[in-house]
Amino acid sequence: MINKNELRLLRGALEKLEAGFTDLPEFIPEFDETALADVLGEVAERMQDNYPYYHPLYAGQMLKPPHPVARIAYAMSLWVNPNNHALDGGRASSAMEKECIVDLGAMFGWESPLGHLTGGGTMANLEALWVAGRLHPGKRNIASTQAHYTHSRISEVLGIPFSPVAVSSNGRMDIDAIEALLQQGDVGTVVVTMGNTGLGAVDPLPDILALREKFDFRIHADAAYGGYFGLASNLNADTEQAYAALTHVDSIVIDPHKHGLQPYGCGCILFRDPSVGSLYKHDSPFTYFSSAELHLGEISLECSRPGASAVALWATQRLMPLEKGGEFANDLGCSLSAARNFHARLDAIEFFTPLMAPELDIVVYAVNAADTTTASASARRLFDSAADKGLHLALIELPVSLTGHWLTDIEVNSDSITCLRSVLMKPEHQDWTQRIVAILEECVA
């Protein structure tokens, strides 16, 4: 779990940091070491009550530890504890945040986006939909039934009407259903999910963009989970086209704490048109906004924010730039390969029916049974017995209308069916699918 070299690297980084603060009279805070050690021992013991997210046999939810460079940079910056709300709270870390935003925007082909880091995808989506609502007052937000539930809830918070859009059997937003809603004339914003959290399906962005020729609406891309996958070199052709089209949307949410190797507390909102910055401030003296000109507190709904998040992200992007063909991109490709591989292995086993082929790195699979109620109960039992053998999976509840296309020989005696779900988001998963499947087979036997 812990590579001891990290502790050595942290010490070295701290010594370098401290060397920048030697012109003041010496001042070293003191503490009672024994008391701290006692409490820390207790904390370590409490923290043992977690699933082993770092291990490839954790193949459940979207969880993994940050990259060592992010963890060390984050920890180091805590001795300063910068606040990126305002420049005097975090001068260096604010500059680093702006550089991160430039690189994230460039990944989507944006030259001067307005953007900043947030506490997570929820806050980032709140900002996107708040701006969308200001620009299309009184209009409706629509998002897929497989979109993150945060969109209907955020719409409620903002007092914006919301409608769900049906998905096709591949989990993507159904284009005819979108058009039918657009024809009603009151849609202000279409939320397009670039990799939904349950299935990893990518909404058909090129088709949605084409609808803008007939209808006037804003497009917000929720790429909290899937935003980085445009860098991977092994996407399906249509998924790749959807990512290529991202450059034409109005706003993008991406979560560095999902696939960007960051500790929690790191989401990001990007707006293609920096002039939306004027919405944040009613008496702004600026006529043109870009993240480079404003300090971050002026373009963020949140006030105090951890500068440490920006420091960690900057270090990670420095070590592993957001480039096609680079190490970071290749690791995403490995996750996708792992998911494809896992899907194929499951398909070869009598006991399971995997649903749609993975577009990103999520695999959803049903347990074969005579009817949907039995299949659900078996999935839940398997979830428990796998955990007993050290293999940690996740469950997902899906409407039978969605699974019907994949599960053809099953009697439907419930509205929904519980399936197993694995997010294979660690590149190492590629080398572990065989072992994971072997454990599943043991459980079944």
Ligand X SMILES: *Cc1c(COP(=O)(O)O)cnc(C)c1O
Q: Residue 219 or residue 367: which is nearer to ligand X going by CB? A: 219
CA separation, residue 290 to residues 117, 272, 302 (Å): 14, 10, 18
Interface contacts to ligand X, rule CB under 6 A: 120-122, 125, 148, 150, 193, 196-197, 222, 224-225, 255, 258, 267
Complex with ligand X: residue 59 or 128, whichever CB lies closer: 128
Min dist CB 124 to ligand X, Å, is 7
Least distance to ligand X, CB of residue 260, Å: 11
Residue pointed to by tokens 């993150």: 148
Question: Nearest approach, Cβ of 265 to ligand X (angstroms)?
Answer: 9
Backbone phi, psi, residue 4, to 5°: -60, -20
Alpha-carbon span 253 to 267, nearest angstrom: 7
Record the tokens describing residue 408, joined without a space: 């053809």
The pairs formed by 69-72 with CB atoms below 8 angstroms and a separation of 24 or more are: 69/312, 69/315, 69/316, 69/319, 70/261, 70/262, 70/263, 70/312, 70/313, 70/315, 70/316, 71/6, 71/263, 71/312, 72/6, 72/9, 72/10, 72/13, 72/315
Could you give the CA distance from residue 424 to residue 278 in angstroms, rounded to a whole number? 41
Q: Which C-beta is closer to ligand X: that of 225 or that of 271?
A: 225
Residue nearest ligand X, Cβ-based? 121
- We find the least distance from the C-beta atom of residue 317 to ligand X, in angstroms, to be 18
Nearest approach, Cβ of 169 to ligand X (angstroms)?
Answer: 20
- For the bound state, the minimum distance from the C-beta of residue 83 to ligand X, rounded and expressed in Å, comes to 20
Q: Which residues, other chains included, contact 75 with Cβ-Cβ below 8 Å and sequence gap of 6+?
A: 10
Which C-beta is closer to ligand X: that of 68 or that of 120? 120
| Type of residue at 229 | F
User: Is 372 in contact with 415 (CB distance < 8 Å)?
Assistant: no
Structure tokens at 173: 């937003």
Of the pair 139, 148, the CB lying nearest ligand X is at 148
Of 110 and 225, nearer to ligand X (C-beta) is 225
CB of 208 to ligand X, least distance (A): 16
120 or 260: whose CB is closer to ligand X?
Answer: 120
Cβ 365 vs Cβ 346: under 8 Å? yes
